[in-house]
């Protein structure tokens, strides 16, 4: 085996195992994302089904349905990507099988020649006579070496053939498994597509219902706006009071800036206060049906959760205030230097004002209000609301 051939062979082996590792990594990421999306949809399904008999906003239903539609579309796209990964793997496996079959044919042909040569020279007397008939000592050594190595070469060639056959069988099993998993993903994709179409029909029906009674839902929206405005005013007041309370008589502000610095360094890395789908994002949004109507500006995010889910602190801090607000029940304000996190729509509080809390510590449990089980969560820097999704780690 020449050095150039050896280098090519080693490179091919490295590439093959690298591709197998990447395929496994892609498959693992796909399965993890599917599990996360299905967990989110289970929460949404429970809210839509368990509370169907309760009085609730059709706008909230529409928001949940559209979030589920979004998740299903992501699942379908993920399935398409995974099918492409499997298709590449199947193509690679088939090429490897073809190469191995060619190699086995070549090895078998060489093995046959060796066996035939050994058969022709099977009589030891003929070997000795052939060696003794050498013209010189060098030729005698060469002939002796040939007969000595012939048996070893036959055995080694047999081992090579068996190894190649074992590798071929393993590759065939891999190919079969890839085809099986591809069919499973195709089946999952077909089910998600059917569910997506059903969700889209349900969304259309909800939109039609909303359009039939616009005035009713405008009144509901006006009431919601009052609650949101009241909450935002109260948060602003609480934050201002917390900042003012940090001042001493000399006017200095002994705010824990070390803690604030640590908080700011964790932008994009903070743990989620609870695991669930974000159904209402930060900022200005418009009504999904009456598109010219502005919805109340959202200073935070709303996370759909299962009833009784624990809500946890996103960072070390001090509980500054616990208040009860119409439409939001228990709300907890935690100070992190000149940053604040706000946890709302809680049924119970596991802390009290003045408590020092640690990252991940339980703050309370989420409440179900008007059939909706959602956590309302905000982050502020001084008196400016921040988009929490920019601070929380990516899912």
Q: What's the rounded Cα separation, in Å, for the pair 144 and 28?
A: 57
pLDDT at 9: 41
Closest of 327, 360, 366, 361 to residue 343, by C-alpha: 366
Q: Which residue has the higher pLDDT, 318 or 147?
A: 318
- Residues β-bridged to residue 386: 379
Closest of 211, 109, 107, 198 to residue 159, by C-alpha: 107
Q: What's the rounded Cα separation, in Å, for the pair 293 and 286?
A: 6
Q: What's the rounded Cα separation, in Å, for the pair 117 and 111?
A: 10
Q: Which residue has the higher pLDDT, 124 or 70?
A: 70
Asked which of 76-85, 208-217, 235-244, 303-312 is least confident by mean pLDDT, the reply is 208-217
Q: Is the pLDDT of residue 19 over 50?
A: no
pLDDT digits (tens, 9 = 90+) for 208-238: 777 777 777 777 778 888 888 888 888 888 8
Q: What's the rounded Cα separation, in Å, for the pair 189 and 14?
A: 33
Q: What's the rounded Cα separation, in Å, for the pair 223 and 203?
A: 24
Reduce the DSSP state of residue 98 to 3 states and report it. helix
The DSSP element (H or E) to which 145 belongs, if any, is helix 137-212
Q: What's the rounded Cα separation, in Å, for the pair 24 and 30?
A: 10
58 pLDDT band, cuts 50/70/90, is confident
Taking CA atoms, 390 is separated from 127, 198, 301, 335, in Å, by 83, 33, 11, 18
Within 8 A by CB and 6+ apart from 160, the residues are: 107
Cα three-residue angle 40-43-45, rounded to 5 degrees = 110
**Domains of the chain and CATH, by start:** 3-211 (no CATH), 215-391 (2.70.70.10)
The values of phi and psi at residue 334, to 5°, are -120, 130
Two tokens, residue 20: 């197998």
Q: What's the rounded Cα separation, in Å, for the pair 12 and 18?
A: 10
Q: Is the pLDDT of residue 116 over 70?
A: no
């Amino acid at each position: 085996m020449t050095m150039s051939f050896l280098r090519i062979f080693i490179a091919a082996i490295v590439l093959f195992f690298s591709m197998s590792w990447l395929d496994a990594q892609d498959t693992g990421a796909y399965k993890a994302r599917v599990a996360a999306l299905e967990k989110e949809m289970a929460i949404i399904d429970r809210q839509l089904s368990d509370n169907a008999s309760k009085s609730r906003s059709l706008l909230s239903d529409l928001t949940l349905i559209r979030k589920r539609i979004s998740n299903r579309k992501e699942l379908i796209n993920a399935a398409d990507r995974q099918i492409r990964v499997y298709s590449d793997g199947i193509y690679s496996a088939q090429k490897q099988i073809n190469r191995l079959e060619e190699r086995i044919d070549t090895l078998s042909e060489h093995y046959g020649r060796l066996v035939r040569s050994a058969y022709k020279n099977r009589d030891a007397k003929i070997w000795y006579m052939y060696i003794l008939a050498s013209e010189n000592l060098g030729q005698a050594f060469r002939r002796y070496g040939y007969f000595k190595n012939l048996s070893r070469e036959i055995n080694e060639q047999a081992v090579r053939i068996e190894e190649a056959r074992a590798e071929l069988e393993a590759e065939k099993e891999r190919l079969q498994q890839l085809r099986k998993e591809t069919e499973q993903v195709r089946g999952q994709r077909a089910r998600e597509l059917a569910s997506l179409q059903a969700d889209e029909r349900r969304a259309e029906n909800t939109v039609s219902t909303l359009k039939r009674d616009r005035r009713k839902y405008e009144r509901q929206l006006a009431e919601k706006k009052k609650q949101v405005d009241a909450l935002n005013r109260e948060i602003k007041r609480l934050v201002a009071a917390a900042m003012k309370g940090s001042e001493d008589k000399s006017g200095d502000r002994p705010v824990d800036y070390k803690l604030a610095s640590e908080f700011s360094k964790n932008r994009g890395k903070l743990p989620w206060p609870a695991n669930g789908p974000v159904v209402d994002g930060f900022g200005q949004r418009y009504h999904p049906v009456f598109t010219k109507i502005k919805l109340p500006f959202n200073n935070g995010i709303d996370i759909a959760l299962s009833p009784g889910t624990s809500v946890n602190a996103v960072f070390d801090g001090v509980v500054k205030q616990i208040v009860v607000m119409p439409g939001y029940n228990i709300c907890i304000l935690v100070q992190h230097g000149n940053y604040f996190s706000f946890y709302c729509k809680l049924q119970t509080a596991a802390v009290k004002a003045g408590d020092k809390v640690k990252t991940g510590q339980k703050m309370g449990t989420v409440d179900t209000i008007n059939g909706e089980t959602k956590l309302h969560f905000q982050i502020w820097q001084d008196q400016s609301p921040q988009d929490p999704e920019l601070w929380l780690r990516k899912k």
